[in-house]
Amino acid sequence: MRLGSAVSGRGPPVSNTSIRRAPRKLAEQLQSSLSILKAKQCAKIAELRDALIASGFDSLDAQAAALGLSRSSTWTILNRNHKSTGLSSSVINRIMHSTRLPSAARAKLEEYVQERLTGQYGHPPKCLRRFRSRLLTCPETITGRPQQSDPNGKDGGQTANYGRRVATG
């Protein structure tokens, strides 16, 4: 008895071998598409590095100071050795709280966060919800609320929304 006709009662026969190969082929296609998404994520993080260099932060020490991270963390992030999941919410929070972060680099990081929250890097919805709930930064593009700078200028040029949790709505 042929398996294809026994299962569906119609259509071309399907061998046992092709049934075993189907999940492998699907897994290979999924892995390929995830690789493309991860490459896109690495490219966005590389844009952050380029923005730092364009702003005059060309040494590792200067970049680490601008990002508000240790030298080893900065090296890992900017040289594409970060985890395949991308930048964690805690790292993003630390970077966004840095008073020395140039506006061009901040804009690139906000673009990265926005793209990640919309699932453009292949993260599953559960991971995206957890990522959103742990973010302390609130760029307007994420929350939809306008940012307000401290009128007395005591926020170091950062917005009043930074340091508050993002609404998970």
pLDDT for 122: 85
| Structural domain contains residue 128 | yes
Chunked mean pLDDT (size 10), the chain, 169 residues: 51 56 61 77 91 95 96 89 79 94 96 92 90 73 42 42 46
| Structural domain contains residue 83 | yes
Six-digit token string for 60 = 């590792």
Euclidean distance between CA atoms 89 and 104, whole angstroms: 20
pLDDT for 148: 41
Q: CB-based contacts of 16: which residues, under 8 Å, 6+ apart? A: 3
Euclidean distance between CA atoms 14 and 5, whole angstroms: 8
pLDDT for 28: 63
| Structural domain contains residue 134 | yes
Overall number of domains in the chain:
1
| Structural domain contains residue 29 | yes
Find the angle CA(145)-CA(150)-CA(152) to the nearest 5 degrees. Answer: 160
| Structural domain contains residue 101 | yes
pLDDT for 161: 44
